[in-house]
Amino acid sequence: MGAAVLAGITLAVPQSAQAMPALAKDVNVPCDPDALVTEIRTANGIGVARLLLATDCVYNYTTTADPGDALPIIRGDITLVGGSSTTIRRDPAAPDAFRLLEVASGATLHVQRISIVGGSAAGFGGGILNAGTVVFDQIIMAGNHAANGGAFANNFDANATISGSVLNENSTTGVGGGAILNFGTLTMSKSVLTRNSAPINGGGLNTQAYGVSHLIQSTVADNTSGGLGGGISNLGTTTLDRVVVTRNKGSGGGGIATGNNNVSIQNSVIRDNIPDNCSPMNTIQGCVD
């Protein structure tokens, strides 16, 4: 019964714009939110840029540069590099909901050593929405909120690589993916999904039909779903290699819930989830209640 309910909940994929061609440029960005907006717009026109953000700085946004986004949509090949306590944040007092970053189809965004905090979207991806390619390295995504994909949404045909990162205390109001909603291809390594929540499926990660999620040497812990898959829900393909899934809570499949047979577990630990570790019970090889 649980698998049938899970399988019945799929989402339409949002649309995005096309990318632009490129030349290279490096830029130091002062601790000024308007300066970051300007440099991303300039970088989009050039095509390729490496933007070096200020350390010990909060780029704080109360309004949008593009409709629905604090910063201009990424349309080229852009790298954002931070340092000690570099944060991009939607101001908690901002009157309107908006996400922080969006990546167009065909574009590429690298984010290193930056916290993405407090984004809010009525649709997909409260922190970041990706229709192209993203690479996240040593980032924090916290306190973001969306209808689906509280911190991050990865569109159909999009590619995402997340390493050395923490996604915590993000949430959704819709189908799920308290931290991540994946329609495309996702590889997450040496990272943590913790204390994220969703009212329906996938308190931590929700992999939709045709999506492929690879989790490697990571932890999924203390996430909550009002439905199936407190830690992880799957309608596509999900693989776990050296992953710990623990202390997650849902209506069923507290650790992992799947609507098909495409969950693979290798050298991983799934334990102490509520009310059980996996759903449907005893159908996911390597998961025992």
Ordered by where they begin, the domains of the chain are 2-7+25-279 (2.160.20.10)
Annotate 75-97 with DSSP letters as a single string: -SEEEEE--TTEEEEE-TT-SS-
149, 166, 234, 17: CA torsion to nearest 10: 40
> Average pLDDT in the 197-214 region?
97
The per-residue pLDDT for 26 is: 86
Closest-CA residue to 52 (of 86, 102, 100, 101): 86
The per-residue pLDDT for 272 is: 97
Kindly indicate the confidence band of residue 11, based on its pLDDT and cuts at 50, 70 and 90.
low
CA 67/CA 179 separation, integer angstroms: 23
List residues bridging with 237 in a β-sheet. 212
The per-residue pLDDT for 181 is: 98
The per-residue pLDDT for 4 is: 34
In sequence order, what are the residues at sequence separation of 6 or more whose Cβ sits closer than 8 angstroms to the Cβ of residue 133?
103, 107, 108, 109, 158, 159, 160
pTM: 0.91
Give residue-wise pLDDT tens across range 220-244. Answer: 999 999 999 999 999 999 999 999 9
The per-residue pLDDT for 210 is: 93
CA 116/CA 119 separation, integer angstroms: 8
| pLDDT top residue among 24 and 35 | 35
Name the percent of the chain lying above pLDDT 70. 91
Kindly indicate the confidence band of residue 9, based on its pLDDT and cuts at 50, 70 and 90.
low
Mean pLDDT of the chain: 92
> Average pLDDT in the 257-261 region?
94
Give residue-wise pLDDT tens across range 77-136. Answer: 999 999 999 999 999 999 999 999 999 999 999 999 999 999 999 999 999 999 999 999
Instruction: Give the other-Cβ count within 10 Å of 178's Cβ.
Output: 35
The per-residue pLDDT for 141 is: 98
Could you tell me if 114 and 80 are in contact, meaning their C-beta atoms sit under 8 angstroms apart?
A: yes
CA 61/CA 242 separation, integer angstroms: 38
Closest-CA residue to 178 (of 213, 142, 216, 139): 142
List residues bridging with 90 in a β-sheet. 61
> Average pLDDT in the 247-266 region?
96
CA 180/CA 201 separation, integer angstroms: 11
CA 127/CA 154 separation, integer angstroms: 11
**Whether the bond into 280 is cis, omega within 30 of 0:** yes
Could you tell me if 133 and 108 are in contact, meaning their C-beta atoms sit under 8 angstroms apart?
A: yes
Buried b / exposed e over 101-131, threshold 16 CB at 10 Å, is bbbbbbbbbbbbbbbbbbbbbebbbbbbbbb
Kindly indicate the confidence band of residue 10, based on its pLDDT and cuts at 50, 70 and 90.
low
SS (H, E, C) 180-249: EEECCEEEEECCEEECCEECCECCCEEECCCCEEEEECCEEECCEECCECCCEEECCEEEEECCEEECCE
What one-letter code names the amino acid at 112?
Q
Residue 22 has pLDDT above 80, yes or no: no
Residue 166 structure tokens: 């923490």
